[in-house]
Structure 1
Amino acid sequence: MGTVNEELERYTVSQNVSIRPGVRMLGLFPHMRYREWYALGELVDNSLQSWISNRLALQEADGPDFQLQIHISVDPADGGLITVRDNAAGIEAKDWGRAFQVAEPPSDATGLSQFGIGMKAAACWFARRWSLRTTALGDPVERSVEFDVPAILDAGMEELEVDEGAVAAAEHWTELRLWDLHRTPRGRTIAKIKDHLTSIYRTFLRDGRVMITYNGDPLEYTEQPILVAPDWRDQEGEPRTWKKDVHLRLDSGRRVTGWVAIRESGKGREAGLALLYRGKVISGAGDDLYKPVEIFASQNSFESQRVFGELDMSDFDVTYTKDSLVWFDEEEDVILQLKEELESEPLPILTQARNYRARKPQDVPRDRLLEVVNRTGQLLRNAGDLGALWTADDDGKNVEEATAPSYLTADVTREAATPVDRRFEIAHDGESWRADLELVEQPAIRDWLTVQRADDGPTPLVRITVNQAHPFMRAFCEMPSQDLEPVWRVAVAVGLAQEVARSRGARFPNYVTQAVNAMVRVLAVQPS
């Protein structure tokens, strides 16, 4: 037996591989509307498909616990270098004739490798130059080819030289190297890449059969906790797990399956539907949320904060960039059927998401409520004479002071019947007024806003009360990421405006708060 070098010489053979037809498309790929995570995903797809197609052979060769490993590394130095390496089954010799021809689909197009364009397009989108080295399972030959895209286009090349060398037959891997980059992932883009890739390949990462790393860091998908709670209509009832299986069939015969659930706690950036195609998330990964308004209502609705799920859309097609579905004009049908399913008994997901409250209004910390009324009072005092505001230019100059006078926290009163009660001195038309600002919790009272004027004392007194137990407050001030303070300020503004109008001689100014109370009870209803 000869030396290693002699063995390599024995197996080294120069061959050519065709890159026609469509070689001119290589110059178009850098201008595609890719995002970095979808472009890297095309390279990951090749590794996954090799593993899927050869899973039994890989387990037979390396044991039943074989784990596919895909390692992505990005080095921004010297023009940038991206490397994607896997331990899948490699590219067999018989597939080399097709693998580098643009738009030449594989013989089996039922997996993630479907159009015969993804690897070439993504590599050229990232880099001016790239190479591929691989050795197939059971093949004692390593093959490599290099794409110098500017040189290929300048010379009009239609074939590239393939280098071959000897390796152990037990080896199996593929390595893609991309350099002289058009675009190098940096800064926040890196975090988004990792977040999106984790979400896109969640079904492959879940059970540990596949590991993907980015610069050595494993991508790990974290499952979102599902709400376990009683039906909102029966708060004392038995807790239920709010997750529903979905089975839809369209008139075309296409099916949609999966599940939809309610998050344990609301978080808009992690809610929404993930649409999967052959196990890969095509829409709804990372911050690319799929939230049709018919189901999720407005951006700040409870549904938009809480509802999430995964739907298998494999009966549909995908675009050749595999970043969106081809709906065949059936998206509306899917949405309407899904909405009907999610509103149906005995597990009405949307109704529960819309009406269930994880906490009660009185759970708001008292210190937080005190901050709200204190700041509101500060703004009113900083405004100066309220009468002047009626004629002042709308430039905000009267309310722009950065800090409040120290006496604003003085003259504090507390009553047992109210969780928060603050009194402030304000000026109106040169006269000193007192304003009592209250936040109460009284479900028996129908009104949201109450304004009372006392004229029997030496100083005019206005008492403005906001009822936190009102349906309007329950609907909008308990929403995830929402704040009590803006609603509180509007209520105070309406109450003071009524009394200012009264002092200016307006007839029946109390009609203002009567109308407001009637309207907000209607407006408290969440959109369906």
Structure 2
Amino acid sequence: MEVREHQLRMGYDGDFTFDMRPQAGILNVFSRLSYKPQYAIGEFVDNSTQSYLLHKAELIDSEDYYRLRIDIEYDPGAMTLTVTDNAFGMERDRFLDAIKLDAKNSDQMNSRNEFGMGLKTAASWFGSVWSVTSTQLGSRRRFKATVDIPYLHESGESDINIRVTDEPPYTHGTVVRIEKLTKKLAGRSIGKIKDMLGSMYRRDLANGDVEIMFNGQPITFEQFPILRFRDQQWKKPLDFEFDFGPEKHHVTGFVAIMDPGSFIKAGFALFRRGRVVIGGADANYKPREIFGNANSEISLKLFGELDLDDFPINQAKDGFVWEDGLEDAFIDALKMQIADFRKIADMTKKARMQESQLATPASNRVEAQVTDTITRLNNGLSKARDDAEEAQPEKADTSDAGESAESRYVQDYREMQREESKVPDELLSDVRTYPIKVSSTQAKTIEVRWSIESGEKWIGVTYPTDDSVAVTINLNHPFFKPYSREEDFQVVLEKLVIAFVASEEQAKLNSTQAGMIISSAIRSNMNRILYAMAVNGNG
């Protein structure tokens, strides 16, 4: 055996046999490991992506528009699974390490294939016969090894044949083919595998220079929508350390709030070496200490990506070895870092909407835009009013015949003027004040607030003083609700309400002694004010 290996290291050409050591019958045991299909396939993808990461510069220099491509082909009829890549490939030493049971090389330290066992364990878990074929970039040799587990088990042998053939120098990459599958992939599980692979390698896919295909269809990952609230996007980077025993553990990544939320997508994806260890659709990390009950608001909306590169990992690379208290220490440290995000995530959508619409920053923005319009409107309104007065209809007849009807109208009208808002303060925005000319000699101060109310009232009007009008606009009115979260709509609505109230005040100036108003007066006044706003106020 030593002579044969020495010959290999010295450049011996041609086919040869190789002792896998220890006895290859142990491969039978791998079929009983607690792998999940996506993590077993992930072992092959880890090898491909790690080969690419180690030799990225050489691969990019080797051809124009190079991209790493990994093709996963599952054939249920033939019961085969094949994983093909165009990564750097392997020359003889690395190739033998890949199939030798107790081999490990320096390239695997601090890498995705750190244990040096992934290819052997995953292939043996999936099927009873598997082969590896590889050619390194720049080499003219292709190496192929076939491992027949039942034969090796029955014969007690550990020697396998290595076939060496010539290849063009521009050929490179590795093919892992598994035959006589012992794990069958059903239709629904294939969809889950594709989703999980997209999640596991989301960062490689997001870079744009790695492509993973499953039966000819690209593996993808869709980024989650992030909440915008209180004039900020709710996503922030994380970078902190915490002590556990004599060691410090470093955590980086980000936390964010999803909008709209999703119980399936929410939670943390835990990364190690740029690849997800825990996470994916309906499989994200959701410790109760942070997320509360499964149906909580936090469990619906809080999410993030956390890098735990110096945390110990299990052999299958689908979990961390932290049952000794490390997980509890991690949760406590993380909880302190994201307290503000937990608080916002715990708010209901209704509570956020109310705060967003009624908050001071939103109120100030609308006030600034409307004030600009009203200022220029007042400067240009005099001419429009002079023109209107020439066409003003005659005042209504004030004969005794209509006096009783007028009195009843005035009584009702004055009763309406005494109306007071019953809306709680927490459902009201700040007051925005707009002075507006209602005649050449008289101005009114219109005070506007937004409210979030139920019921059919779209505006409420009161009269705090003779020179002021207080208006409450109900943004929760069913007619406005589909649009009222949009700031542009809020500005238009506010201008419309001001025009309406100012039109009423102008009409009152031309009312009868009993307070009667010509039915068309408000409409006519509003036509003129809206036109003046458009001509003079929207510059």
TM over 0.5: yes
Per-residue deviation, 1:286: 2.7
Matches within 5 A, 1:22-421: 22-63=23-64, 65-78=65-78, 80-108=79-107, 109-230=109-230, 239-251=231-243, 252-327=247-322, 329-343=325-339, 348-357=340-349
Paired residue secondary structure (1:16): strand
Contact 1:244 1:349 (8 Å CA) reproduced: no
Segment drifting more, 180-189 vs 349-358: 349-358
Structure 2 length-normalised TM? 0.61
Residues 84-139 of structure 1: CA distance to partner in whole angstroms, max 9, x if unpaired? 00000111212233221114222222111111111111101110111111111111
Contact 2:236 2:254 (8 Å CA) reproduced: yes
- 1:17 paired with 2:15, answer no
Paired residue secondary structure (1:104): coil
Q: 1:212 to 1:361 in 2, by over 3 A?
A: closer
Segment drifting more, 21-30 vs 37-46: 21-30
Among the aligned pairs, what percent are the same residue?
34
Paired residue secondary structure (2:163): strand
Q: Which amino acid aligns with 1:106?
A: N
- The runs of 5 or more residues in structure 1 that have no matched partner are 1-10, 231-238, 363-441, 446-466, 470-528
Contact 2:98 2:119 (8 Å CA) reproduced: no
Paired residue secondary structure (2:338): helix
Q: 1:340 to 1:360 in 2, by over 3 A?
A: closer
Contact 1:106 1:115 (8 Å CA) reproduced: no
Contact 1:106 1:114 (8 Å CA) reproduced: no
Q: 1:444 to 1:48 in 2, by over 3 A?
A: same
1:297 and 1:304 map into 2 onto residues whose CA distance is 7
Residues 176-216 of structure 1: CA distance to partner in whole angstroms, max 9, x if unpaired? 11111101211210001000000001111002110000000
Paired residue secondary structure (2:289): helix
Q: 1:183 to 1:443 in 2, by over 3 A?
A: farther
Per-residue deviation, 1:219: 0.8
RMSD (Å) for aligned C-alpha atoms: 2.3
Moved over 4 A (4+): 358-362, 442-445
1:211 and 1:60 map into 2 onto residues whose CA distance is 18
2:204 and 2:291 map into 1 onto residues whose CA distance is 28
1:45 and 1:18 map into 2 onto residues whose CA distance is 25
1:329 and 1:102 map into 2 onto residues whose CA distance is 32
Paired residue secondary structure (1:314): coil
Contact 2:24 2:149 (8 Å CA) reproduced: no
Contact 2:256 2:304 (8 Å CA) reproduced: yes
Paired residue secondary structure (1:51): helix
Q: How many residues align?
A: 346
Residues 41-77 of structure 1: CA distance to partner in whole angstroms, max 9, x if unpaired? 01111111111111111112124x4210000010100
2:423 and 2:24 map into 1 onto residues whose CA distance is 73
Which residue does the alignment assign to 1:3?
Answer: none
Contact 1:101 1:116 (8 Å CA) reproduced: no
Paired residue secondary structure (2:207): coil
2:74 and 2:351 map into 1 onto residues whose CA distance is 45
Paired residue secondary structure (1:318): coil
Contact 1:129 1:146 (8 Å CA) reproduced: yes
Q: 1:307 to 1:155 in 2, by over 3 A?
A: same
2:263 and 2:30 map into 1 onto residues whose CA distance is 34
Per-residue deviation, 1:285: 2.1
Q: 1:360 to 1:308 in 2, by over 3 A?
A: closer
- More helix, by proportion: 2
Q: 1:60 to 1:360 in 2, by over 3 A?
A: closer
1:81 and 1:137 map into 2 onto residues whose CA distance is 27
Larger radius of gyration, structure 1 or 2?
A: 2
Contact 1:103 1:115 (8 Å CA) reproduced: no
Per-residue deviation, 1:287: 2.4
Per-residue deviation, 1:356: 4.5
1:314 and 1:300 map into 2 onto residues whose CA distance is 30
Structure 1 length-normalised TM? 0.63
Paired residue secondary structure (1:205): helix
